[in-house]
Chains A and B, each alone.
Chain A
Amino acid sequence: MAPHELRRPFKRPAISDQQRRRDLALIRQTQQRSDSQNRARRLASSLFDLPSHSFPDACQADFPDNVDVGYAIALEQSPELEASSPTVRHLDFVQASKLKGSAARHWFARQLMLTEWMIDVPPNLDRDWYVFARPAGKRCFVVSSNGSTVSRLRNGSVLHHFPSSLPNGARTKEISAPSHVYCILDCIFHEPDQTYYVIDMVCWRGYSLYDCSAEFRFFWLNSKLSETGACNPPSTYHRYRFSVVPIYDCNRIGLHKAYTGGFAFVKDGLLFYNRHAHYQTGNTPLALVWKDELCSQYVLDTDSEGHVPAEQQVVLELQDDGKLTTSDDPPILFGCLEKEIIQKSSFQAGNFLRFSVIDECVRIVDGKLELGDLKFVGKANRARAFADSYSKVFFQYTARHSPLQFQDLIASLDPNLDENSESNDMEMID
């Protein structure tokens, strides 16, 4: 039993860097494991048995060849923009938030999920779809990061730059979010009550929701947004109010509520979202818009003066070889411009040109719309970032001739399904 050692650490830091390296490695691994878990949890659930082809690759990069210089630099600095994993695209936003001016416009213009216009009623409307009233206003992305909030219109230009109660949306003490935290919301800015109506959630507190089903995104949107105080009335550090839009299952009751119900906002048609669909940039057939005179003031397109022209007008993109195409991917061909005309005019590939449709020339072959000859009207508004989509042209055409009516939507609902869940209502309506 020798004397007991009593030497204490002397003039040494209490923690060795080696232990610190171990600890940091463990923290990194734990964080990454939890990221993987969260990613797995956000993937579409097996609760829904979906054919895989109904998910077109959401990740395809949608870049035109004629990118401008600033944008090309951005690409060079971040080769991952071309890659297609969800995390990678998720990081695009961190990159993109540093872009300025036209490069930023160009980038953001391609990030919104664009609805197709409803030409036919999709099957299983009541089982697989949500319906909600679309607030009238400007569709935009709202991004909160680094203590400020920016909203950008569909063409990428900035609408507002403002403080908000979204995570990291203002430089205040109360909103204590780490600097890398950011949020991306898909909104409609409704002028009359100066409110951003959030119709979809793309990223929340740095977590991407791209690969989540609409069902999950809406669930998350409804549970998260109000937590932040973003739905509160405006204040010094919160210039605009945010609000959610009531979303209904697309059954008889839901459809009626969305169609006839009164809302705080002016309605502009109905939106239909497939509940299993991921957030996909660009046009998607899994999110649809439908309008009629009762639920929208803007069923028929207006010209630049705001009048509904006598003949339907379309905006198409001029290609290198003179072809006139829609904004779809792949583009749909609606006509062709003679080489001589192109040479005489100042048109260049990529220009958006406005044409009048000549009703007599239009044909529907095997369910496909063909416009035939077109009458040139002029160059489209410079602010435009896209040509019209095929579905829009088609919808506008049918709206003028044989519109898809609300009764058609109701009629498409599966009566058996209704009988189980809403038997009383069904009898009343029938």
Chain B
Amino acid sequence: MAVEITQVLLNAQSVDASARKYAEESLNQFQDQNLPSFFLALSGELANNDKPVDSRKLAGLILKNTLDAKEQHRKNDLIQRWLSLDMFVKAQVKGCLLQTLSSPVSDARSTASQVIAKVAGIELPHKQWPELISTLLSNIQQQQSHVKQATLETLGYLCEEVSPDFVDQDQVNKILTAVVQGMNASEVNNDVRLSATRALYNALGFAQANFSNDMERDYLMRVVCEATLTPELKIRQAAFECLVAISSSYYDKLGSYMQDIFIITAKAVKEDEEPVALQAIEFWSSICDEEIDILDEYGSDFSADSDTPCFYFIRQALPALVPMLLDTLLKQEEDQDLDEGAWNIAMAGGTCLGLVARTVGDDIVPLVMPFIEENISKPDWRQREAATYAFGSILEGPSPEKLTPTINVALNFMLTALINDPNNHVKDTTAWTVGRIFEFMHGPTVEIPVRTILSVLLQCMKDVPNVAEKACGALYFLARGCEVVGSASPLSPLFADIIQALLSVTHREDAGESRLRTAAYETLNEVVRCATDETTPIVMQLVPVIMVELHRTLEAQKLTSDEREKQNELQGLLCGCLQVIIQKLGSAEPTKYTFLQYTDQMMDLFLRVFACRNATVHEEAMLAIGALAYAAGHNFLKYMQGFYPYLEMGLQNFEEYQVCAITVGVVGDLCRALDDKILPFCDGIMTHLLKDLSSNQLHRSVKPPIFSCFGDIALAIGENFEKYLIYAMPMLQSAAELSTLVAEADDEMIEYTNQLRNGILEAHSGILQGFKNSPKTQLLMPYASNILQFLDSLYNEKDMDDIVMKAAVGVLGDLADTLGANAGPLISQSVSSKDFLEECLASDEHLIKESAQWAKFAVSRAISG
């Protein structure tokens, strides 16, 4: 094999499919049969300067893929596999990799540097390969530029791959010194400077200590700022990227540099090439992100605890920053609205302006209004568009009081422009701005009659696709605003016309462009949601219409893969729409029964949607079925036989975990719909749920809902849950232990932990209540002390959120209620039944208090009697 590896690697890139397939198979075989030789052969190939560059590159790429994978569980396997490899083999592979950094072939060097970083990512956390960093640093001392460049690139990848925790400060200092030296103006080789600048981008995360030291920070900042002025475009761009990264990582250290940075960025925005100008604008967007976050936190109760104070950089820069951004708005590209991937300086500038408005609020309005007034009626479309875009961008942030006087004038003007302006780009932005007005200002602030607005929007929906799509968006937010108004919706008089207009949009030949069809269906959904008693009959008429559409997609035969993808997307939209309709009509008694006549046909359609996707079920159809089951109640039983296989399929879908999560939710719907009639299906369902919980492939976010689902099942089938107790209870127990052992967690982890706790508690509630009044209640006694301990430990941890608190005090009540006097002594020993209960009784949160009052009642019965 070793002899022919070059040929196999070349064949694997052949244009001939069969040769390619054969080569791939033999590579897989090689890997399976003799892993050490496989590693040695590939690293040898990569290091060998006599081999063709294509085989060397692929050898490196395969090595990289045998060390890392996207899926966490596979990644863990690969790490273990490498660690358990023979020491000698590993040493030889690493030797080859380091040797490749000196190769004259740049592709080979670059590939090797990535592989080295992957190996470092595995070994450094295990305190292996201690000499790596010093070896790399000594490489840099060499005079050969290409070696220097490759080594700096390697250091960059290494910093991306390895957590700062595994590199000691001494080595960090040395890495930074080497990188900064490479960036310095004294370095004549531009490739070296570029690699060094890009390496610094990744190394910034290691520089916490250095950024806290004034002298070192001054030096780092000076080098970065100097690099933004080099003649080489790519280096300038990379240097601005560093500035952007610094703005978010070291926001609080920027004070003394802001003035200089403003000058640098303003110059770049004004006269530099687009890639650089975009990064310069991004710097300010990123500062806005930081300040918005900080001010958000100020707004919440914990202002005193906020880690970072706000330095109000944006407010200080405002008088200069806003004109700079307004200038960019006039640099639009023709037809940028038709290009999905477009991103130019005008778009970036407008986006940044929007962020500035959110950061400073009212203060931006007087700075932008003159620009709007000056340009909004100009003959040049660029000026009209820029003025409109500026207005649309500042609608979020300032107070309604500040904007209201302008809004009514502006809206009138814009409704005219939507019909009369000759330029599509202006209309596109105008329709978007109208949508933004309704998004942030809906309700009483708008003086123009809804009827007038609607007639313009409906007309606009017949315009070119990108304009029509924005008009749909505007209608979406208009409808959403009407949702809160109450029973008499201003949409009602034109309700049928609106639905008709949206359906016509979905049928347009060009509805596939600019996301138009999707926008039309999403708007239709929102309109359905805000139907009132008066207009639900029209929604009822929509049911057969959408069903016919869905039916039509199922009749299409012999589709190309492209067509199949479109069909799949359309089915998603239609199922989504049906789901919204089901929820709407199924939730109100007067419409529910009329609507349920359609259940047979609807289930038939949903099952056919499932059937046309061999392996996976459709998320939207699944959600729709959940809503339908709940509305249909016991009558849903007759569909279970046909539906069950797809339910199983959804529960086993580890890859698309969203689908799995939704299916778990639907099991809950079924439990509530069918009650104990779900029993015959429970063995299968519980098996899958238990497997899901034990799997390390399944995304963790699905696990809390699975626990809640245990509760749903137990509540539905009551004491029949008995046979699952021996499986479910230990899992709940170990999850409970895990969820109380979270030390030093970040916000995300705390949130997840609380979700997990809530799931566990809901499971206990369901099981306890399910067994109530059963002669088998005693089966739960052995678990009572663990459950109480869990509650006690939650109370002692003091980091419950309100939802968990309500659930926990509820479980206390459930336990007392179901186990009664038998658990009395246990309950009276627990902290939960005293201090925790007292705390909940004193809560300001209505739901917590209510649960607590109930728990108090149950507890006092259990203890006294």
Point out residues on A near B: beta carbons under 8 Å.
Answer: 1, 3-4, 6-11, 13, 16-18, 21-22, 24-26, 28-29, 32-33, 36-37, 40-41, 43-47, 77-80, 91, 94-95, 179, 216, 219, 223
Contacts and interface: CB of A to CB of B under 8 A. Distances in A.
A22 B662 CA distance: 8
Given A25-B627, A44-B773, A10 B476 contact: no
Contacts of B56: none
Contact of B711 (A3, A18, A22, A33): A33
A41 B851 CA distance: 10
Contacts of A40: 715, 769-770, 772
Nearest to B855: A41
B157 A41 contact: no
B712 interface: yes
Contact of B817 (A6, A8, A46): A46
B491 to A, nearest CB: 17
B708 A33 contact: yes
Contact of A78 (B160, B337, B525, B590): B590
Contacts of A44: 773
Given A1-B156, A11-B428, A25-B662, 18 more contacts: A1-B157, A13-B439, A17-B576, A21-B623, A22-B623, A22-B662, A24-B583, A26-B665, A29-B626, A33-B711, A37-B765, A40-B715, A41-B810, A45-B817, A46-B774, A46-B818, A94-B589, A179-B486
Contact of A25 (B278, B665, B708, B765): B665
A6 B576 CA distance: 31
B672 interface: yes
Nearest to A88: B589
Interface string B723-754: 00000000000000000000000000000000
5 contacts: A6-B282, A17-B522, A17-B525, A21-B525, A91-B589
Contacts of A179: 486-487
Contact of A13 (B473, B774, B861, B862): B473
Interface string B640-680: 00000000000000000010001001001100100000000
Interface string B608-648: 00000000000010010011001000000000000000000
B343 A7 contact: yes
B470 A11 contact: yes
A91 B813 CA distance: 27
Contact of B526 (A17, A41, A77): A17
A26 B709 CA distance: 13
B715 A25 contact: no
Contacts of B765: 37
B539 to A, nearest CB: 16
A88 to B, nearest CB: 9
Interface in B820-865: 820-821, 853-854, 857-858, 861-862, 865
Contacts of A94: 589
Interface string B494-538: 000000000000000000000000000110011000000000000
A216 B856 CA distance: 12
B206 interface: no
A74 B810 CA distance: 38
A6 B525 contact: no
Given A8-B348, A47-B817, A3 B238 contact: yes
A32 B773 contact: no
Contacts of B583: 24-25, 28
Given A13-B476, A25-B626, A46-B773, A6 B665 contact: no
B397 to A, nearest CB: 14
A94 B244 CA distance: 58
Contacts of B68: none
Interface residues of B, number: 86
B593 interface: yes
A200 B201 CA distance: 71
Given A33-B711, A47-B821, A216-B857, A77 B590 contact: yes
Contacts of A18: 522, 572, 576, 620
Contacts of A3: 237-238, 241, 275
Contacts of A16: 522
B68 to A, nearest CB: 17
A16 B769 CA distance: 38
A95 B351 contact: no
A24 B521 CA distance: 17
B285 interface: yes
Contact of B278 (A6, A11, A17, A43): A6
B193 interface: no
A167 B274 CA distance: 61
Contacts of B813: 41
A284 B429 CA distance: 70
A90 B390 CA distance: 53
A16 B672 CA distance: 29
B589 A80 contact: yes
Given A1-B198, A3-B238, A10-B347, A37 B473 contact: no
Contacts of B627: 25, 28
A41 B816 CA distance: 11
B489 interface: no
A28 B715 CA distance: 18
A3 B522 CA distance: 35
Contacts of A21: 525, 576, 579-580, 620, 623
Nearest to B470: A11
B715 A37 contact: yes
A294 B854 CA distance: 38
B810 A37 contact: yes
Contacts of A22: 623, 658, 662
A43 B766 CA distance: 14
Nearest to B432: A11
A8 B351 contact: yes
A29 B715 contact: no
Contacts of B692: none
Contact of B712 (A13, A28, A33): A33
B814 interface: yes
B854 A41 contact: yes
3 A-B pairs with least C-beta separation: A17-B522, A40-B769, A1-B198
B375 interface: no
A29 B668 contact: yes
A79 B590 CA distance: 9
A8 B820 contact: no
A26 B285 CA distance: 33
Q: Which of B238, B765, B821 has the most CB of A within 10 A?
A: B765
Contacts of B237: 3
A48 to B, nearest CB: 9
Contacts of B857: 216, 219
A30 to B, nearest CB: 9
A37 B769 contact: yes
B534 to A, nearest CB: 14
B814 A41 contact: yes
Nearest to B157: A1
A93 to B, nearest CB: 11
Contacts of B817: 41, 45-47
A223 B853 contact: yes
A28 B627 CA distance: 9
Nearest to B518: A17
Interface string B694-728: 00000000000000100110010000000000000
A45 B351 contact: no
A11 to B, nearest CB: 5
A25 B201 contact: no
B279 A6 contact: yes
B820 A46 contact: yes
Interface in B410-446: 428-429, 432, 435, 439
B553 interface: no
B153 interface: yes
A10 B336 CA distance: 11
B317 to A, nearest CB: 19
Nearest to A216: B857
Interface in B553-608: 572, 576, 579-580, 583, 589-590, 593
